[in-house]
Amino acid sequence: MKIICIGRNYRDHAAELGNDAPEEPIIFLKPTTACLYPGQPIKLKPFLGDIHHEVELVVMVDSYAKDVPERMALGLVASFTLGLDLTARTLQNELKAKGLPWEKSKAFDGSAVLGEVELPMTASTDLQRLSIELKKNGALVQQGRTSDMLFTVAQQIAYVSRFITLEPGDLFFTGTPAGVGPIAEGDVLEGFLNGQRVLNVTVAKG
Q: Which CATH architecture has domain 3-205?
A: Alpha-Beta Complex (3.90)
Q: 19: pLDDT confidence band, cut at 50, 70 and 90?
A: low
User: Cα-Cα-Cα-Cα dihedral of 174, 90, 17, 142, to 10°?
Assistant: 60
Continuous H helices in 81-192: 89-97, 153-163
Residue 21 pLDDT: 76
For residues 49 and 91, give the distance between their C-alpha atoms in angstroms, rounded to a whole number.
7
Q: Domain map of the chain by residue range? A: 3-205
Tens of pLDDT, residues 146-196: 999 999 999 999 999 999 999 999 999 999 999 999 999 999 999 999 999
Pairing between β-strand 3-7 and β-strand 139-145 as defined by DSSP bridges: unpaired
**Residue 20 predicted with pLDDT over 90:** no
**Residue 108 predicted with pLDDT over 90:** yes
Residue 14 pLDDT: 62
Q: 203: pLDDT confidence band, cut at 50, 70 and 90?
A: very high
For residues 57 and 146, give the distance between their C-alpha atoms in angstroms, rounded to a whole number.
8
Residue 185 pLDDT: 97
Tens of pLDDT, residues 113-123: 999 999 999 99
